[in-house]
């Protein structure tokens, strides 16, 4: 993402809003594919798939409308991600983006009445300190020498954008969890009974897996609609009319869109099947990979402050997830 945004001048860049929208459309298609695959063998047909969507999205609209709130938060967050990647080097972006562990924790405490252990509070403090080391402005000799160093390209706009994205990520994640775990208020009990009967016949694992994909379709459904209305129609409408929806797209743009779409679905799978320690490991690997690739692709060097800050963030992430 950083490469596709930073390697061209502003008027040669693809529109982030259309890229976010395309990711959501791809996610919806992938979820539909999984949902189809998880239908019981005898009922596996396009009509059954449509009937299921009708039931989940239209008949149970009171339940599905709840997904519109996290959908809009994720939509804004995903757009901000592109802005942040334009203003920050990839590794600094990855490290600062871990502030979402703090925001998620704070929203979990306030919205889900969850309590954190002393170790977790300590880890959150360490995390914030580590991020501070990476992003705080400093008069580096390498900057004076004109040599790009990780952490030194931080701009106030980039950092602020990441912070807002982290707030949205925390709120959306906690709210999504709240909806998924709250007992659903169903509109049509007869439909529900019918569904329960069907579910009994189904393999239990299949039914559980379907629920994950249905939740994500509900999320993406609102993201696509809201994305079309707010972002494309209101924000970038004139540019799209003038240059086209896919203006300045190339193969790499599609790679970024594909990574964003699969990354989003993997987040959903990680939340469901893995635990926070594994998520922490994945995060740590992503920070190390971003730093390594930044060095190889952009020829950046790594300052000792960046290394100290990044190591603190990786350790804090691990400490936070420890049970």
Q: How far apart are CA 226 and CA 27, in angstroms?
A: 15
Per-residue exposure over 12-32, b if at least 16 CB sit within 10 Å of its own CB, e if not: ebbbbbbbbbbbbbbbbebbe
Q: Does 74 bind ligand C5P (CB under 6 A)?
A: yes
Q: How far apart are CA 52 and CA 278, in angstroms?
A: 33
Closest to ligand C5P by CB, 271 vs 295, is 271
The secondary element (H helix, E strand) that includes residue 137 is: none
Binding mask 2-31 for ligand C5P (x = CB under 6 A): -------------------------x----
Q: Which of 323, 313, 310 is nearest to 275 (CA)?
A: 323
Taking CA atoms, 228 is separated from 236, 253, 262, in Å, by: 10, 19, 21
Closest to ligand C5P by CB, 149 vs 210, is 210
Which of 111, 225, 267, 295 binds ligand C5P (CB under 6 A)? It is: 267
Binding mask 78-97 for ligand C5P (x = CB under 6 A): x-------------------
Q: What angle do CA 219, 120, 181 make, to 5 degrees?
A: 30
Q: Are residues 136 and 129 in contact, defined by beta-carbon separation less than 8 angstroms? A: no
Place of tokens 């193969």: 251
| Six token digits for residue 91 | 């590794």
Stretch that binds ligand C5P, among 7-15, 226-234, 262-270, 294-302 (CB under 6 A): 262-270
Tell me, by CB under 6 A, how many residues bind ligand C5P.
13
Which of 219, 224, 287, 312 binds ligand C5P (CB under 6 A)? It is: 219
Of residues 167 through 206, those in contact with ligand C5P by CB under 6 A are 169, 173, 176
Least distance from ligand C5P to the Cβ atom of residue 9, Å: 27
Which of 28, 153, 216, 218 binds ligand C5P (CB under 6 A)? It is: 216
Closest to ligand C5P by CB, 1 vs 305, is 1
Stretch that binds ligand C5P, among 43-51, 58-66, 263-271, 295-303 (CB under 6 A): 263-271
Closest to ligand C5P by CB, 98 vs 149, is 98
Closest to ligand C5P by CB, 151 vs 173, is 173
Q: Does 247 bind ligand C5P (CB under 6 A)?
A: no
Q: How far apart are CA 68 and CA 226, in angstroms?
A: 8
Closest to ligand C5P by CB, 20 vs 312, is 20
Q: Which of 132, 104, 98, 134 is nearest to 318 (CA)?
A: 98
Q: Does 239 bind ligand C5P (CB under 6 A)?
A: no
Which of 130, 151, 227, 264 binds ligand C5P (CB under 6 A)? It is: 264
Least distance from ligand C5P to the Cβ atom of residue 317, Å: 12
What spatial distance separates the first Cα and last Cα of the chain, rounded to whole Å?
A: 34
Closest to ligand C5P by CB, 207 vs 271, is 271
Q: Which residues contact 91 (CB under 8 A, 6 or more apart)?
A: 150, 151, 287, 290, 291, 294, 300, 302, 306, 310
Instruction: Point out which residues pair with 301 in neighbouring strands.
Output: 149
Rounded (10°) CA dihedral 101, 71, 263, 203? 110
Residue nearest to ligand C5P (CB): 264
Of residues 94 through 113, those in contact with ligand C5P by CB under 6 A are 100
Q: Which of 254, 253, 84 is nearest to 169 (CA)?
A: 84
Which residues of the chain form contacts with ligand C5P (CB under 6 A)?
27, 74, 78, 100, 169, 173, 176, 216, 219, 264-265, 267-268
């Amino acid at each position: 993402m950083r490469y596709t945004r930073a390697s061209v001048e502003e008027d040669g860049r693809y529109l982030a809003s259309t890229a976010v929208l395309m990711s959501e459309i791809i996610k919806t298609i992938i979820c539909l594919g999984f949902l189809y695959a998880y239908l019981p063998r005898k009922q596996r047909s396009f009509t059954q798939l449509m009937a299921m969507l009708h039931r989940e999205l239209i008949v149970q609209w009171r339940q599905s409308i709840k997904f519109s709130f996290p959908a809009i938060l994720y939509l804004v967050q995903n757009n901000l991600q592109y802005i942040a990647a334009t203003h920050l080097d990839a590794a600094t972006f990855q490290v600062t983006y871990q502030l979402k562990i703090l925001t998620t924790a704070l929203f979990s405490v306030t919205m889900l009445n969850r309590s954190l252990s002393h170790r977790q509070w300590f880890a959150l403090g360490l995390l914030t300190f580590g991020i501070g080391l990476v992003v705080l402005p400093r008069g580096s000799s390498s900057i004076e020498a004109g040599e790009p160093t990780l952490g030194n390209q931080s701009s106030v706009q980039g950092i602020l954008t990441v912070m807002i994205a982290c707030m949205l990520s925390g709120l959306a994640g906690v709210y999504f969890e709240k909806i998924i775990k709250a007992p659903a208020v169903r509109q049509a009990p007869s439909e529900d009974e019918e569904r329960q009967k069907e579910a009994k016949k189904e393999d239990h694992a299949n039914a559980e897996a379907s629920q994950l994909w249905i939740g994500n379709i509900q999320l993406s459904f609102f993201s696509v609609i809201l994305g079309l209305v707010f972002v494309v129609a209101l924000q970038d409408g004139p540019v799209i009319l003038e240059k086209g929806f896919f203006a300045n797209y190339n193969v790499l743009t599609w790679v970024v869109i594909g990574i964003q779409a699969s990354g989003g679905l993997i987040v959903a799978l990680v939340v469901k099947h893995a635990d926070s320690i594994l998520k922490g490991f994945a995060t740590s690997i992503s920070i190390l990979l971003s730093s390594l690739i930044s060095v190889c692709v952009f020829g950046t060097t790594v300052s000792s402050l960046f290394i100290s800050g990044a190591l603190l963030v990786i350790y804090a992430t691990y400490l936070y997830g420890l049970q």
